[in-house]
Amino acid sequence: MQRSHPVKLAVILLLSFVMFYPLLWMIGSAFKPDSTIFTDTGLWPRTFTLDNFINGWKGFSGIAFPVFFKNSFIIVVLAVIGNVASCSMAAYAFARLDFSLKKLCFAVMFGTIMLPHHVVLIPQYLLFYKLGWVNTYLPLFVPKLLATDAFFIFLMVQFIRGIPSELDKAARVDGCGTVQIFTRILFPLMTPALVTTSIFTFIWTWNDFLSQLIYISNPKLFTVTLALRAFLDTTGQSAYGSLFAMSIVSLVPVLIFFILFQRLLIEGITTSGLKG
């Protein structure tokens, strides 16, 4: 086996360090006192403390940080369920069923991927405001129930097209209808694509800041991202140490979720890209 060139290896290590430096700096700063975060430039803290984690876990305004974790998990779970259910049904319709204007509807759906979110931000806000949904979680997960994420629909369509259509025909011979074919035959076979959708939805919803900032103003309803922003006070003293400490804690659920389903994620992306 040919040995790696030492210069290439050194360049790769250097680039890796540059990419990971902000994360390493944040981890080191989480264990520094607030007064030394920006004066102690080293990655490893000279004065080691756990006060940032203790104070950050206490939260602010009498609201402990676990409350923000609970709020984020509520939104994430509902968003994942909504995306998996609605996008899988829409993908089944595009991949297996025949209906009028099917190609046009698929083209319009696929075209929404190229539509910037900011274009529809104001119309969506006005709609949700008139419905009385502002300062609730409804605008953050109800659209997921309507198959609004075209990327996941396209991902599942490609995956379903790779499943032999003979399975559908055999199921119809056995007396299965359209719904039964989807629920009993295709849906269990779509596990890699469903897991891929779940992971991306989990990460994107957990890290979402703009939508949550627009629709939520009650501190008791704050999610993790909004709570982290609250540690920065433009009019008073900012708790950077608590911010960095809770930022590290907030990465743990995403990291665990990704590690547990990493194999299925890679399988779902690979098979969806190759089949069709």
Q: Is the pLDDT of residue 190 over 60?
A: yes
**Predicted TM-score (pTM) of this structure:** 0.84
> Distance (Å, rounded) from C-alpha 186 to C-alpha 95?
11
Nearest C-alpha neighbor of 140 from the set 200, 87, 79, 210:
79
- The number of beta carbons lying within 10 Å of the beta carbon of residue 86 is 19
Q: What mean pLDDT is reported for the chain?
A: 86
> What is the tens place of the pLDDT at every residue in 108-143?
988 888 888 888 889 999 999 999 999 999 999 999
What is the pLDDT averaged over residues 20-46?
Answer: 84
CATH architecture of 58-274: Orthogonal Bundle (1.10)
Give the rounded distance of the alpha carbon of 28 from its chain centre. 26
Buried b (16+ CB within 10 A) or exposed e, 162-194: ebeeeebeebeeeebeeeebbeebbbeebebbb
What is the pLDDT averaged over residues 156-166?
Answer: 89
> What is the tens place of the pLDDT at every residue in 238-262?
788 888 999 999 988 888 887 877 7
Tokens representing 141? 């997960």
Confidence of residue 268 (pLDDT cuts 50, 70, 90): low
Residue 81: Cβ-neighbour burial (10 angstroms; 0-12, 13-18, 19+): middle
Q: Could you tell me the residue ranges of all domains in the chain? A: 6-49, 58-274
Q: Is the pLDDT of residue 1 over 50?
A: no
- The residues, ordered by sequence, that sit 6+ positions from 198 with a Cβ below 8 Å of its Cβ are 80, 83, 84, 261
Q: Is the pLDDT of residue 216 over 60?
A: yes
Residue 271: Cβ-neighbour burial (10 angstroms; 0-12, 13-18, 19+): middle
Tokens representing 31? 């264990």
> What is the tens place of the pLDDT at every residue in 59-108?
888 889 999 999 999 999 999 999 999 999 999 999 998 888 889 999 99
